[in-house]
Structure 1
Amino acid sequence: MEYLAKSAGETIIQHTENLLKNYDLLKKYYPEIPVNWSLLRLICKYHDLGKINELFQQKIREGTMKKEGEIPHALLSIALLPVKELKKVYGVADVKAMTYAIALHHERDFSQLTKDQYDNEIAKLQVPAKHFPFSELGLPFPNEIKRPDARFYRFLHRPSSKDDYFKLYVMLKGLLNRIDYAASGDYPVEYPANFLSHNMSRVLNGWKQKSPTGTADWNEMQKYVEQHQNDNLIVIGQTGLGKTEAGLLWLGDNKGFFTLPLRAAINAIYTRIRDGIADKANYQQQVGILHSDSLAVLLAEDSENEVVELDQLANYLNETRSWSLPLTVTTLDQTFDFVYHYAGFEKKLATFAYSKVVIDEIQMYSPDLLAYLLKGLKEIQDFGGKFLVMTATLPAYLLDLFQSQGLKWEMREQPFLDEDLLERHYLQLIKDNLSAEMVAKLYQKGKLLVICNTVRKAKEVYQELSTLLPKVEIQLIHSQFIRKDRQQKEQEIMEFAQSNQAGIWIATQVVEASLDIDFDLLITELSELNGLFQRMGRCYRKRSLVNRNKPNVYVFDGGDNFTSGISKSEYSIVHDEIFSLSKKALRSREDGILNEHEKMSLIAATYTTEALKETSYYHQIKTMLAWLSVTENDDKSEKEVKRLFRNIQSRAIIPRKIYDDFTTEINECVRVLTLTSKEISQQFKENPSIIRRIYRSKLDDYKISIAEWLFIKCAQQNQVQFKEIGKYEGFYIVDGKYAKDYGFETLHGVEEDRFF
């Protein structure tokens, strides 16, 4: 008889052969992976042999979910391992890692399983084993079928970082998982990383052709990282110096991850790489985008091209999520959650062992995320991966934390600066709160960017300024627009910055980093020094100061009070101690030209470990690092870790006004999402999975995220309605005002102070 592995009729032999094809692909593209390749190949052969058991074969042939008395097949697979023979070749630690990698290659609950049950099912393997063609996989017939003894496998034990074979186990299990998923999903486990080096040279040649002199070259920073491709690096360079290109040059022809904190920045960099660096015909095998809204980005891209090949889109999305592409532009929460060592984390850490990761805009991460980052980089380093941290401002205390965690890196003593653009900003500090009246007085002509700390403050300034300057084009951007409006706003501010138009954009932190926009004048509230210098990078981005006697940056520090969004509460957008240190540093200098050297000196002098070690901000980082270390072996689920990692304090909702205006479109999304797979296939003639993803994404176009405390307050005032989508999901509608130019506002003036 044929022994089946899958309900679709694929046999165990066929499935294993598909694994071996992906094993060969992985070894071909990344032979340098620090793993015992012969052990990994054996694991691929043995991992599913437990499926020969009678109950599994009955289940597959009957099409049922589970058979009474059935135990996970992976536990039966290890009973077929020739442990004694393997020990002679590989040693105890390697065989132990191999055994656990197979036994745990599916995340199953073994807690209800007894040893007697286990041993009884193992004994029953004797019959099917007599008929299974082991030789077709190049395997010997098992001399004995029994549970490995305690030296190699302890019943219900899960390897942890305390075990001496942990690293071996992580590499074997993690790579087995990726190979197995690729074979089951019918996609390649990896595509070759062979386009960046060649195509970056092509980018440089394109610059030469556009240059009036016919010459162009990488700058000093870009050359430095290219020369140190094999090193961990920390690079400090002023804004506008080409850190994105530097990151790509450092990655070279290696598997890479490019991480940023803001989705708008990720979208922009992904688009730049896709359109300007990747091969047009093959970009879907070269670069992917991965964050919570990535499907919407891909759908918009296909919409622009008026081509929506859903099967192709589904494959691209699946391969991106499976980390099969050589370059992924992504967020920290999509990648660094492995620090919790949740059930199934091994595939991520094993991949990072042969990857390079770029961390851009590190100064924007919260204390919790900084702790995740520090622990993650240490584990990546220990497993063989590489990291590049790029920033325009790097506080001294962060370098001390890097060192205390055992991280090792190269770093040039002096930051990278553009000698032709050392003086771009004349800063005037105003010891008062920012107001629309002051903005109106300071604005004369050109492009003005006003950055507020909170959505509420931005709205207030927008409304009042629109009255004070009725003839001036004024726009508003912040996080409280529904997704499709926010995406339009992001596009509009980019186009405005590149145009010859004059006008005013009022914004929040959403424009602070990585958006390549350039304004003539910046008026901003103080948040803290790192954020301020990032904001200043949106003004005179690549221009030298023209008028050396007139400010082009005005900073309002709140006078004797805090600026908006700053408080001593846990909801403050910046810790109040950090704000106070920043205010003190700015007040210690005279108004005038603030050159790039002085910016970095201010950061270095202000954010020292000595100055911060007693603050709650620093304490939060250290506490989280200690907590991660203590709890890393707690067997958390992946779902639980996602919730912890994102520190969810917000709720996705649809504003009542949007629901009323788009009821037909929203109800169509709900209708499709309640259809069965069979009904979707009949109606759309497409894969039900991608259709559901598309319609969930369409529904998300009408949503915004509001803080959990605000959601609760609205619910207490009976301003929240829940709409079901079938039995297991739904969405919330919250009463409030919404306008395309203004965004969302809850009823009765509930404040949005804690948003940006």
Structure 2
Amino acid sequence: MEYLAKSAGETIIQHTENLLKNYDLLKKYYPEIPVNWSLLRLICKYHDLGKINELFQQKIREGTMKKEGEIPHALLSIALLPVKELKKVYGVADVKAMTYAIALHHERDFSQLTKDQYDNEIGKLQVPAKHFPFSELGLPFPNEIKRPDARFYRFLHRPSSKDDYFKLYVMLKGLLNRIDYAASGDYPVEYPANFLSHNMSRVLNGWKQKSPTGTADWNEMQKYVEQHQNDNLIVIGQTGLGKTEAGLLWLGDNKGFFTLPLRAAINAIYTRIRDGIADKANYQQQVGILHSDSLAVLLAEDSENEVVELDQLANYLNETRSWSLPLTVTTLDQTFDFVYHYAGFEKKLATFAYSKVVIDEIQMYSPDLLAYLLKGLKEIQDFGGKFLVMTATLPTYLLDLFQSQGLKWEMREQPFLDEDLLERHYLQLIKDNLSAEMIAKLYQKGKLLVICNTVRKAKEVYQELSTLLPKVEIQLIHSQFIRKDRQQKEQEIMEFAQSNQAGIWIATQVVEASLDIDFDLLITELSELNGLFQRMGRCYRKRSLVNRNKPNVYVFDGGDNFTSGISKSEYSIVHDEIFSLSKKALRSKEDGILNEHEKMSLIAATYTTEALKETSYYHQIKTMLAWLSVTENDDKSEKEVKRLFRNIQSRAIIPRKIYDDFTTEINECVRVLTLTSKEISQQFKENPSIIRRIYRSKLDDYKISIAEWLFIKCAQQNQVQFKEIGKYEGFYIVDGKYAKNYGFETLHGVEEDRFF
């Protein structure tokens, strides 16, 4: 009799052999992983042996979901472990970690099980065990089949950070999960990290060939990180110094994650690496992009060049999401949610144990995300991984928080600056609120970028300025455009910045650190110093001042009031205390040239622990850190953690105008999403899973996110309609105005200040 592991007919022996192949790949590519390799190999062999039980075999052959009285096979697998013999070789802690890794390798609810039921099913293993070919896996026939005693496994217990074998358990279970999922999904658990070092040298040679003198070299910052590849680093470097290249040089030929706070920035860096650094023929085995809209990015890129091979795209997405690629460009919520220690977190933390992670633009994270980041970096450090924090401005209180969390790093005393580009900005502070009238007076020619704190303010300025300057080309970009219009806007502003055109773009924080653009003049509201200096990086990005007697940056600080979006409420775009500190710091400076040294000195002097420790902003970080520590062993589900981590306070909707204009396209998406897998296969001749992903992505092209409170208000006024997609899915249509040049507005014109 053959003992099956999968409904497709794969036997336990075959499945286990596939695990061992992936085990061999993992060990070959990353032999330095801090894990007991022989124990991991044994776990691969034993993890599914519990499937020999009669109820599981009946279920597989009958094609049913579950049999009456069946218990999770992983609990039966540990009854086949030769615990006494293993203890003699490895010791109690290792065997305990091994036992729990197998018992919990599937996230199942054991709460309804009783010990009597468990022991009864273990007793029934005696019969199938007599016929199972253990020798084919190089395993001895079990001398006894019994539940491991309490020294090695306590019924219904889940290991936590309080257990002395916790780190051993995380590494074994996490890597077993990675290997098992790869074997089941028929993809390699890892690809080799062997392209960056060679290809970065190729990039440098390309620069030399383009140089008029035939010479080029990495700059001081890039050389520094390359020399410190084995260290945790914090690097402060001026905008435009090549931090992306520095991050890649530091990663070298190691498994790496490049994290950024904004999807537009992720898209841009992924494209740069894919097209300019990775091997063209093999990029899908080298670099991946991972965020909530990554499928849309891949579809858009591929459709410009060639017909999309859907099976290939499905494999690429799956391998990226499974962390099989050596380099992943991603967001914090896709990676650092492991800090909650939810059921199944181990595979992420175990991977970080042999990885290097780059954190770019750390100053842009909210207090709760900073807390996640601090706790995550500490756990990564404790498990053996490395981190590089790169930023143009680093508040000193952050360094104190790093130290208080026990993080260790190297950092050069002086920031990295471009001596030829120290003076790029002449700043004039205006103690008033930003207005279209003032912008019209200040603008004369060239490229002007206006940055407002909120969508509402940006729209107001756009409308009024269009009336005041009817002959000037004026464009608007913010978050309240449907996705396909937003992507077009991002492309248009980058093309405009590189052209010889004159005109005005009005924007929100969406351009603060996400788009590689360069304007001649910046007019902005004050949000806070970090944000201001990021905004200034969009003006004279890589060029020195031409006119040293005339401002190229005007900052409106609100006068005696707050600027738009700033308040004492929870909806403020930045904490009001941080805004007030920033305003005070700016007012202490005279108008004039603000060089790079002065920018960094202002940040260091303003954002001190002493200045912030009594603020609600700082208190929020400390409270979140404490809460994470207290709740990390609460057995939250992964779905719950995703919701907590993203701090979801918004709702994806389709504006009524968009639904009316694109009813045919939207209904086609709905039609496909309601088809059965068989119907999709018959119609498209493709994998149903990737077809569903594609049509969900197409549907998302017509969506925007609005604040949850605004959604509720619209619903209370009967302005919301729900459209069902099958039994468990659907979308909301919200009444309101929408224009391609203006974006969305609810019927009463009320908008959420926190959105940008």
Give the structure-1-normalised TM-score: 1.00
Q: In structure 2, what is the Cα distance between the partners aligned to 1:215 and 1:451?
A: 39
CA distance in 1, matches of 2:464, 2:252: 50
CA deviation vs aligned residue, 1:47-87 (integer Å, no higher than 9, x gap): 00000000000000000000000000000000000000000
Alignment of 1:303-702 (within 5 A): 303-702=303-702
Q: Aligned equivalents of 1:538 and 1:754: distance in 2?
A: 22
Residues 494-525 of structure 1, C-alpha deviation per residue, up to 9 Å, x if partnerless?
A: 11111111111100000000421111000000
**C-alpha separation between the residues in 2 aligned to 1:502 and 1:476?**
15
Once residues 462 and 581 of structure 1 are traced to their aligned partners in structure 2, the CA distance between those partners, rounded to angstroms, is 29
Q: Which residue of 1 aligns with 2:256?
A: 256
Cα deviation for residue 302 of structure 1 reads 1.3
The alignment partner of 2:445 has SS state of coil
CA distance in 2, matches of 1:194, 1:306: 27
Give the whole-Å Cα distance in 2 for the aligned partners of 1:743 and 1:588.
Answer: 38
Query: Once structures 1 and 2 are overlaid, which stretch shifts more, 283-292 or 746-755?
Result: 746-755
Does residue 1:158 correspond to 2:161, yes or no?
A: no
After TM superposition, give the deviation of residue 307 of structure 1 in Å: 1.4
| CA shift digits 1:220-277 (9 cap, x unpaired) | 0000000000000000001111000000000000000000000000000000001110
Aligned position for 1:181: 181
Structure 2 runs not aligned, ≥5 long:
none
CA distance in 2, matches of 1:502, 1:250: 39
Q: CA deviation at 1:638?
A: 0.2
Q: Per-residue deviation at 1:4?
A: 0.2
| CA–CA separation in structure 1 for the residues paired with 2:628 and 2:35 | 26
Measure the CA separation in 1 of the matches of 2:34 and 2:427: 51
For 1:399 and 1:406, locate their aligned partners in 2 and report how far apart those are by CA, in whole Å. Answer: 11
**What is the CA distance between 1:629 and its match in structure 2?**
0.1
1:306 deviates by 2.7
Shift of 1:471: 1.0
Shift of 1:619: 0.1
Deviations 1:283-327 (A, max 9, x none): 000000000000000111111113110000000000000000000
Following TM superposition, by how much is the alpha carbon of 1:753 offset from its aligned partner in structure 2, in angstroms? 1.8
Describe the superposition over 1:367-417 as per-residue Cα deviations: whole angstroms up to 9, x where unpaired: 000000000000000000000000000000000000000000000000000
1:436 CA displacement: 0.6
Contact 2:434 2:556 (C-alpha < 8 Å) held by counterparts: yes
Q: Aligned partners of 1:9 and 1:749: how far apart in 2?
A: 59
Give, in whole Å, the separation in 2 of the partners of 1:419 and 1:583.
Answer: 28
SS in 1 for 2:400: helix
SS at match of 2:317: helix
Aligned length: 756
* d(CA) in 2 for partners of 1:319, 1:491: 28
Q: Could you tell me the percent identity over the aligned residues?
A: 99
CA RMSD of aligned residues (A): 0.5
Distance in structure 1 (CA, Å) of the matches to 2:500 and 2:15? 60
The CA deviation string for residues 686-712 of structure 1, in whole angstroms up to 9 with x for no partner, is: 110000000000000000000001101
In structure 2, C-alpha distance between the alignment counterparts of 1:292 and 1:523, rounded to whole Å:
32
Deviations 1:418-471 (A, max 9, x none): 000000000000000001111111111111100000000000111111111111
- Aligned equivalents of 2:579 and 2:85: distance in 1? 64
Note the C-alpha offset of 1:749.
1.7
Displacement of 1:748 in angstroms is 1.4
Per-residue displacement from partner, 1:103-146 (whole Å, max 9, x unpaired)?
A: 00000000000000000000000000000000000000000000
1:101 lines up with 2:90 in the alignment:
no
Q: CA deviation at 1:549?
A: 0.2
1:704 is matched with 704
Structure 2 Cα separation of the partners of residues 724 and 8 of structure 1: 33
Residues in 1 aligned to 2:515 and 2:319: alpha-carbon distance in whole angstroms: 27
Could you list the per-position Cα deviations for residues 165-216 of structure 1 after superposition, in whole angstroms to 9, with x for gaps in the alignment? 0000000000000000000000000000000000001111111111111111
1:557-584 alpha-carbon deviations (Å, 9 max, x no partner)? 0000000000000000000000000000
- 3-state SS in 2 of match to 1:748: coil
Match of 2:283 in 1: 283
- Provide the rounded CA distance (Å) in 2 between the counterparts of 1:383 and 1:754: 37
Shift of 1:644: 0.2
Q: Return the alpha-carbon distance in structure 1 between the equivalents of residues 31 and 459 of structure 2.
A: 55
Structure 1 CA distance, aligned partners of 2:334 and 2:222? 27
Shift of 1:750: 1.4
Classify the secondary structure of the residue corresponding to 2:748: helix
Distance 1:266 1:72 in 2: 40
Per the TM alignment, residue 751 of structure 1 is displaced from its structure 2 partner at its CA by 2.5
**How far apart are the structure 2 equivalents of 1:10 and 1:94?**
31
- Deviation by residue 1:12-67 (Cα, 9 ceiling, x = unmatched): 00000000000000000000000000000000000000000000000000000000
| 8 A Cα contact 2:654 2:734, kept in partner | yes
Report if the CA contact (8 A) 2:455-2:751 is conserved.
Answer: no
CA contact (8 A) 2:284 2:316 kept: yes
Distance 1:199 1:602 in 2: 38
SS in 2 for 1:9: coil
Deviation digits for residues 704-727 of structure 1, max 9, x if unmatched?
Answer: 000001101111111100000011
Write the distance in 2 (CA, Å) between the matches of 1:352 and 1:530.
29
CA distance in 2, matches of 1:443, 1:750: 29
Report the Cα offset of residue 147 of structure 1. 0.2
For 1:273 and 1:514, the matched residues in 2 are separated by 16
After TM superposition, the runs of 4+ consecutive aligned structure 1 residues lying more than 3 A away are none
Q: Which moved more, 1:93-102 or 1:466-475?
A: 466-475
Q: Residues 265 and 514 of structure 2 are in contact (CA less than 8 Å); yes or no, is this contact kept in structure 1?
A: yes
In structure 1, C-alpha distance between the alignment counterparts of 2:491 and 2:265, rounded to whole Å: 12
- Using the alignment, how far apart are the partners of 2:471 and 2:212 within structure 1? 39
Q: Distance in 2 between matches of 1:493 and 1:376?
A: 35
Could you tell me how far apart the structure 1 residues matched to 2:752 and 2:404 are? 38
What's the offset of the Cα at 1:161? 0.1
Could you tell me how far apart the structure 2 residues matched to 1:457 and 1:197 are?
Answer: 46
CA distance in 2, matches of 1:746, 1:258: 37
Q: 1:281 and 1:297 mapped to 2: Cα distance?
A: 19
Q: Which SS does the other structure have where 1:225 is aligned?
A: helix
SS of alignment partner, residue 279 of structure 1:
coil
Q: How many Å separate the matches in 1 of 2:446 and 2:201?
A: 37
Partner residue, 2:751: 751
SS at match of 1:102: helix
1:754 Cα deviation from its structure 2 partner: 2.1
* Structure 1, unaligned runs of 5 or more: none
